[in-house]
Structures are given as C-alpha cells and as structure tokens.
Chains A and B, each alone.
Chain A
C-alpha cells in the first residue's frame, strides 16, 4: 500500500526560522517561570521546616494541592478561571509564567526541604556553639551545604519545567509547540515539523543536563 508519504528534509529546514521565534518564547517562559518557582520553592521549603505547626501546614497545603493536580488544569484555571473571579483578563504570557512558576515552586519546595533536612544536626549545633545566631547558622553553615545537594534534583526540575511549557498551547501562548501546530495547520507536514520541534526540545534539555554535570563537577571539593 502506498501511503504517498515522502520525507522532505527541506520542510524541516524551512520551518526552523519560524520555530525559532517560538523557541525564544519557550526559553523566556522557562526562565521567568523557574525564577518564580525557585523563589516560591525556597520560601515554602523553609516554611515546611518551620518549628510552627500552622506554618508547616500552610506550606503543606500549597505543595500538596499543586502536586496533586495536573499542570494542564492549573494552567486553564489561571487563564480561564481566575479572570472571571478577578474581573480582569490575564495575558497568556503572564498566565503561562505564573503556572510554570507555581507548579515548579511546589516541587522545588520539597527539594529545598529535603536538602536542608539531610544536613546533619551537628552542623547546626557547631554553628550555634561558636555564637552564630539561628539565622546566621542557616545562612553561613546550612544553606551552602544544602544548596550543593540540591543541584542535581534542581536540574531535573529545570528540564521537566522546560518540557512542561509545551502545555501552554491550551492558552494560546506562541511558544515552540504552538508554533509547530501553526506551521502544520498551513503545510500539513506533521512528520517533519514535529520531528524538528522534538529535536529542538531535545537540544535544549541536553544542554541543561550538560551544564549541570559541569557545575556538579566544579562544586565538588
């Protein structure tokens, strides 16, 4: 049976310039989303190890509700749901960055908590025993050690969040996946275009992985 399919490399090359504009947006959303996520992660990770039960519970609600619901639902809730309650439109880009940030923040919070709790109790005691305050001990003694342990799982989260941005097609952000869809709508070359899109994601995630391996090696003493 002849399906009439003919693989054309030229189609791939032709789609690259347009896809690159989408790729640019993907990178921007990932960077800002992760910045927000990192901030939320540190704050909520620290709250999660607070001595106050209520504070811990509060952080737990955020972390569990985000980890317990699909990112796709979160994105649509922020873009379609929240504007109805707030009475104002949320630009797609803002919704996208917010969704990626809030989502990765919950996972990063758990990484932060785990890394802090993995530092031996004796380190805090040693810090306090030379007269450092609780905050100084966290900052000078615990944080540098915890951060080092966070790097590998953090890199993992970066890669996941980068790929997650593709879900933003549902709110019409013109990122890489959306751009691919648009090209296909015009030329019907699904095979070549999706292959190109996949390669672009792969190159980005591989680059992150490489950079992380390098940093890990650098930080090893």
Chain B
C-alpha cells in the first residue's frame, strides 16, 4: 500500500529525515512513536506530499507521489489525513465539512453526499451534531468530525498526525475508540501518537524513530516490554 525508499528531508540546513525505508501493507495499523523533533510528523506529511521530500521515493497505492505526472489531489483522496489541531472548516457545519470533499472532488450529487455524510457522522457517533458549527463542538467531537471528513473520500489509507495530543485527557478516549473501530474494520492506518494503550490494542507494528531514522520496529508487545535499543528504552521509561 505504501512504499518508502531512502527518504530524506531537509529544512534548510536541518536534516530532518535521514534515509527512511518503510513499507506498509494493506489493512495494517502502524504506530509511529519517538521524541519530538524525531521527524515522525514530517515522515507522515511526506506520504501525502503536504511536505515535499528532498530525495527518495514514496509510492502510495502504486503511484509515485513525487512524480511530475502524478495527480497529487488524487493521491490525497487515497491517503486521507487527520490533524492534531483538527483543522475543521469553521464556516461550515459538521455535515458541510464532511460533504465538501465528496461534492467538489468526487463530483457527487449534494443529496447523495449528505446521505453519505450522515452515515459517516453516525459512525463516529455524531449524527445529532450534523447541523452544528465547529465552534459548538468539543475537541473530541471536532476530531471525530475530522475523521468522518477524511473517510468521506473513501481513502485506502488514513494518516493520523498526533490526533489526540490537543485534547483534554477525558476526551481522548472517544477519539481512540473511533480509531480502534476503524482498525478492526481493516482500514490501513499510519498513526503518529504516544498512546501506548491504543498501540497495544490495535497496532500491528510499532515504529520507533529518533533523529530522523527508524531505530527499532516490531510488534507492540515486544517493543514495549523488551526494547532492544537504548534510546527506545529511555523514551518509553519517560512516556509510561
């Protein structure tokens, strides 16, 4: 589903990603962990080209993301993204947020898109908030709408960039619950998060990054209980 080969990213003099190799198969849930500044978010953003990588290749569903003749807008409907700050469109209702993509990108009829929108909002438990504007929603509700907005394009993979980091602790659970359900339904997901519980329960694989490289990867239980690398150990001891 996703193939990353020797990916490098520089921000000026700053070498953020130093040769990442990673392949993600369909239906797999991958959790990326690591200290801040380790390049996890940048890696995620290179997958749908919100960030242009400096060198290397990224293949999503058979399409070379960096190739000139690739329609990047199409790639982005294949690889949806959920942001830390939700980034809902404040001038649209929850339903409006969810239907914008289907109507303008997928050229769906408005009525069909709204039917789909209501269905997806029900899925994330927010059917009764369809006509509500984002400023009347809690953080957890906003993030669930944002997930529905991504799902509306029927993506093949969902990228989550620290989806619960901006939430009050008591609201984290409702968002993770939706993500767990997606994982169980077989959605391919790449999740940058520090939620160990989530990783334990649904991740097929945990990737630990530091200073722009992948240091260690494996099944969550193995990584959490017997990390091989010193830096993984010290990070995990701080997080737990």
Are B100 and A130 neighbours in the complex by a CB distance under 8 Å? yes
Interface residue B77 (Cβ < 8 Å from any Cβ of A): yes
**B83 pairs with A122, CB closer than 8 A:** yes
Residues of A within 8 A of B91 (CB): 144-145, 148, 221
**Most chain B CB inside 10 Å of its own CB: which residue of A122, A126, A130, A144:** A130
A114-148 interface (Cβ within 8 A of B) = 120, 122-123, 125-133, 136, 140-141, 144-145, 148
Convert B90-127 into 0s and 1s, putting 1 for each residue whose CB lies closer than 8 angstroms to a CB of A.
Answer: 11000000001100110000000000000000000000
Question: Are A130 and B87 CB-contacts (below 8 A) given A125-B50, A221-B135?
Answer: no
B163 interfacial by beta-carbon distance below 8 Å: no
Cβ–Cβ < 8 Å partners of B87 in chain A: 120, 122-123, 125-126
Please tell me if the beta carbons of A141 and B89 are within 8 angstroms of each other in the complex: yes
B105 x A129 contact (CB < 8 A)? no
Name which residue of chain A comes closest to B85, CB basis. A122
Identify whether the interface residues of A are mostly helix, strand, loop, or mixed: helix
Residues of B within 8 Å of A141, CB to CB, are: 89, 100
Cα–Cα distance between A18 and B48 once the two chains are bound (Å)? 67
Given the known A-B contacts A122-B83, A221-B133, are A132 and B104 also in contact in the complex, defined by CB atoms under 8 Å?
yes
Tell whether A130 pairs with B76 under 8 Å between CB atoms, given A125-B83, A140-B100: yes
Q: Which residues of B contact A132 (CB under 8 A)?
A: 73, 100-101, 104-105
Across the interface, do A130 and B90 meet the contact criterion of CB distance under 8 Å? no
A141 to B105, CA, bound (A): 13
Alpha-carbon gap, A126 to B84, bound state (A): 11
Bound-state CA distance A120–B152 (Å) is 23
CA–CA, A123 and B86, complex, Å: 9
Q: Do B101 and A126 touch (CB < 8 A)?
A: no
Residue ID in chain B nearest A123 by CB atoms: B87
CB-defined contacts of B76 to chain A, threshold 8 Å: 128-131
For this complex, into which size category does the number of interface residues on chain A fall? 10 to 19
Decide if B101 touches A131 in the complex (CB within 8 Å).
Answer: yes
CA distance A145 to B105 in the complex (A): 20
Residue of A nearest to B76 (CB): A131
A28 to chain B, nearest CB (A): 33
Complex: A133 Cα to B50 Cα, angstroms: 13
Taking CB as reference atom, which chain A residue is nearest B71?
A131
B105 and A123: CB pair below 8 A? no
Q: Does B150 contact A (CB under 8 A)?
A: yes
A126 contact set on B, CB distance < 8 A: 83, 87-89, 146
Chain B residues near A127: list those with CB within 8 A. 89
Extra 19 A-B pairs, beta carbons < 8 Å, given A129-B50, A129-B81, A132-B101: A120-B85, A122-B83, A123-B87, A126-B83, A126-B146, A129-B83, A130-B76, A130-B77, A130-B80, A131-B74, A131-B101, A131-B105, A133-B73, A136-B104, A141-B89, A145-B89, A145-B90, A148-B91, A221-B90
Q: Which residues of B contact A (CB under 8 A)?
A: 48, 50, 73-74, 76-77, 80-81, 83, 85, 87-91, 100-101, 104-105, 133, 135, 146, 149-150, 152-153
Please, could you name 21 A-B residue pairs with CB atoms under 8 Å apart, sorted by A?
Answer: A122-B87, A125-B50, A125-B81, A125-B83, A126-B83, A127-B89, A128-B73, A129-B48, A129-B83, A131-B73, A131-B105, A132-B73, A132-B100, A132-B101, A133-B73, A140-B100, A140-B104, A141-B100, A145-B90, A221-B90, A221-B91
